[in-house]
């Protein structure tokens, strides 16, 4: 099916537009941009910049005023051809800003598939979002932040540089995150600390009762046990039934570089 491009839209000669794409009034697509089949740009959407590379998958929706693939807000950036890559079926709401990466890391900012990023949120350079991530209004992600699959946040949260949040974690609204948050947890506060297991989220996601119980035990050992990380890991090995979820939880703990928000 042919794409629909409003006559007021400005499209770069370098852009590659898929089929059945709608580009609404006063949109600007600049530089090396690929837009997959079935995407929709409502109006006043800006995608790309003169130096970066933006690759967008299928069936993504961009609401009015979204600025996608702009240059990184980093003084070290000198116009290198860094990237922003989006998967499929993401919803990017009004006035969201998603920046291309810097050249200091791998040169890629990435967002998976089936994500919802609500209005006025910012995803900075070199961030990595998994799939099925939900970011509520006015979240601010500094550079190099990682949100793994199925992370959900409340409104007006802030994330410091290099913070990592594990799968199926929930961050309550108005939280400030300056350390890593373990998978499967609920966190809140300024600065945020892990307070409980995301039991309802895990149940809704189809986790088995026995798996949720083991995860809850592991989280309580870390957050309530009063031991060091090494002591907590030893207790988890002895007291929690081994499973893929527990192994992932343990691996996340061991790989944390920012420290855990306990």
Q: Is residue 113 part of a domain?
A: yes
CATH number at 62 reads 2.160.10.10
Q: What SS3 state is found at 188?
A: strand
Residue written as token pair 């000669």: 13
Q: Identify the pLDDT of residue 50.
A: 94
Looking at the structure, tell me whether residues 140 and 10 fall in a common domain: yes
Report residue 227's pLDDT band, with 50, 70 and 90 as the boundaries.
Answer: very high
**Could you tell me which of 55, 11, 18, 14 has the C-alpha nearest to residue 38?**
18
Provide the pairing of β-strand 97-99 with 164-165. Answer: unpaired
Instruction: Single out the residue in 112, 144, 176 at which a domain terminates.
Output: 144
Instruction: Single out the residue in 122, 144, 166 at which a domain terminates.
Output: 144
Q: One of 24, 38, 69, 143 is an active-site residue; which one?
A: 143
Q: Looking at the predicted structure, is the pLDDT value of residue 20 above 90?
A: yes
Q: Is residue 154 part of a domain?
A: no
- Judge if the upstream peptide bond of residue 18 is cis by omega within 30 degrees of 0: no
Q: Is residue 243 part of a domain?
A: yes
Q: One of 126, 130, 166, 201 is an active-site residue; which one?
A: 126
Looking at the structure, tell me whether residues 125 and 213 fall in a common domain: no
CATH number at 235 reads 1.20.1180.10
Instruction: Single out the residue in 95, 123, 144 at which a domain terminates.
Output: 144
Q: Identify the pLDDT of residue 4.
A: 97
Q: One of 44, 125, 144, 150 is an active-site residue; which one?
A: 125
Q: Is residue 157 part of a domain?
A: no
| 128 catalytic residue (yes or no) | no
Q: Is residue 166 part of a domain?
A: no
| 154 catalytic residue (yes or no) | no
Q: Identify the pLDDT of residue 105.
A: 82
Looking at the structure, tell me whether residues 117 and 16 fall in a common domain: yes
User: pLDDT (tens digit, 9 = 90+) per residue, 152-167?
Assistant: 999 999 999 999 999 9
| 126 catalytic residue (yes or no) | yes
Count of the separate structural domains present in the chain: 2
Range of the domain at 222: 203-255
Looking at the structure, tell me whether residues 124 and 213 fall in a common domain: no
Looking at the structure, tell me whether residues 32 and 133 fall in a common domain: yes
User: pLDDT (tens digit, 9 = 90+) per residue, 103-154?
Assistant: 998 999 999 999 999 999 999 999 999 999 999 999 999 999 999 999 999 9
Structural Rg of the chain based on CA atoms: 20
Looking at the structure, tell me whether residues 208 and 136 fall in a common domain: no
């Amino acid at each position: 099916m042919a794409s629909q491009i409003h006559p007021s839209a400005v499209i770069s000669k370098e852009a590659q537009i898929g089929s059945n794409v709608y580009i609404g009034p006063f949109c600007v697509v600049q530089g090396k941009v690929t837009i997959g089949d079935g995407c929709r740009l409502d109006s006043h959407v800006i995608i790309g910049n003169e130096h970066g590379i933006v690759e967008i998958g299928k069936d993504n929706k961009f609401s009015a005023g979204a600025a996608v693939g702009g240059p990184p807000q980093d003084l070290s950036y000198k116009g290198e051809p860094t990237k922003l890559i989006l998967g499929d079926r993401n919803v990017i709401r009004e006035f969201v800003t998603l920046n291309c990466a810097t050249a200091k890391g791998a040169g890629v900012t990435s967002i998976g598939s089936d994500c919802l990023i609500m209005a006025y949120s910012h995803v900075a350079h070199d961030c990595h979002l998994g799939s099925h991530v939900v970011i509520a209004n006015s979240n601010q992600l500094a550079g190099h932040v990682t949100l793994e699959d199925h992370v959900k946040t409340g409104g007006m949260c802030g994330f410091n540089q290099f913070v990592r949040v594990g799968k199926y974690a929930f961050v309550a609204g108005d939280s400030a995150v300056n350390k890593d948050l373990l998978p499967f947890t609920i966190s809140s506060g300024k600065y945020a600390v892990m307070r409980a297991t995301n039991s309802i989220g895990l149940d809704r996601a189809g986790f088995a009762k026995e798996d949720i119980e083991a995860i809850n035990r592991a989280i309580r050992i870390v957050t309530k046990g009063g031991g060091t990380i090494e002591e907590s890991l030893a207790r988890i090995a002895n007291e929690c039934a081994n499973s893929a979820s527990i192994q992932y939880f343990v691996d996340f703990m061991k790989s944390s570089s920012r420290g855990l928000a306990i």
